[in-house]
Amino acid sequence: MKTKLLIVDDHLLVREGLKLILEANESFEVIGEAQNGKKALDFLEYELPDVILLDLKMPIMSGLETMDQIKTRKLEIPIIILTTYNEDNLMIKGLKAGARGYLLKDTDRYNLYRTIESAVRGETLIQPEIMEKLLHINDASFSINNDTMNNQQLSKKEIYIITKVAKGYRNKEIAFELGIAERTVKSRLTNIYNKLGVNSRSEAVSVAIKQGYIGL
């Protein structure tokens, strides 16, 4: 069964380019395009994709506003954000909003396919160049919820797990490598969330990068 995709970007050339690359792979099908968030929400009234590729900066309704509306409507659709190198603050906000991954608009097709496949599996994948960008974002723009953070250090095994998560590994794959049950991986991820004061895989990865648990 093909993975159904919705591309949301205000630039026609970006949409057409992505569609051309995606439909060259028999595993993917682009079922819709939208030039802004409002058009995307209109589309979702009639058909639901498996994954949304979403631009951040768009007229009428931005990517972040679109994510908020999708969450309000309780639509559990993985979202991958399309970004450029000059969108630092928006990148962090997108992670906090639950984005499953980031793609630079000039990424190669291998990374495009791999990021989408990870999102479909419910995993988070952040490319090395995005990780490097996150490491250099000004601390002032990276706010962590101090009320939920308990300042506990991650254990070596937890660092191993969050590093694998950042690389797009599934819980089953992490469990196999550690020789433990998949439910144990899930439990340890919950513990990692509590220690880092976060609520999602993507935010856990971004905080772990910033705190130096994940190196490049």
What is the DSSP code string of the chain?
-PEEEEEE-S-HHHHHHHHHHHTTSTTEEEEEEESSHHHHHHHHTT---SEEEEESS-SSS-HHHHHHHHHHTT----EEEEE-TT-HHHHHHHHHTT-SEEEETT--HHHHHHHHHHHHTT--EE-HHHHHHHHTS-GGG----TTT---PPPPHHHHHHHHHHHBT--HHHHHHHHTS-HHHHHHHHHHHHHHHT-SSHHHHHHHHHHTTSS--
Q: Is 199 found in the same domain as 150?
A: yes
Query: In the chain, pLDDT over 70 holds for what percent of residues?
Result: 80
User: Is pLDDT of 5 > 90?
Assistant: yes
pLDDT tens digits for 49-83?
Answer: 999 999 988 999 988 999 999 988 989 899 998 87
Q: Is 112 found in the same domain as 61?
A: yes
Q: Is 180 found in the same domain as 103?
A: no
Q: How far is CA 114 from CA 91, 111, 146, 152, 175, in A?
A: 20, 5, 34, 33, 20
- Supply the range of the domain harboring residue 197: 144-210
pLDDT tens digits for 123-156?
Answer: 766 666 666 665 555 443 444 444 434 457 888 8
Q: Is 178 found in the same domain as 85?
A: no
- The arithmetic mean of pLDDT across residues 40-52, rounded, is 95
Q: What is the pLDDT of residue 8?
A: 96
Looking at the domain assignment, is residue 135 inside a domain? no
Question: Could you say which of 105, 129, 153 is where a domain stops?
Answer: 129
Q: What is the pLDDT of residue 93?
A: 72
Tell which wins on pLDDT, 62 or 101. 62
The total number of structural domains in the chain stands at: 2
pLDDT tens digits for 152-177?
Answer: 788 889 999 988 887 778 888 899 99
Looking at the domain assignment, is residue 138 inside a domain? no
Q: Structure tokens of 157?
A: 């095994």
Q: How far is 66 from 40, CA to CA, in rounded Å? A: 8
Looking at the domain assignment, is residue 66 inside a domain? yes
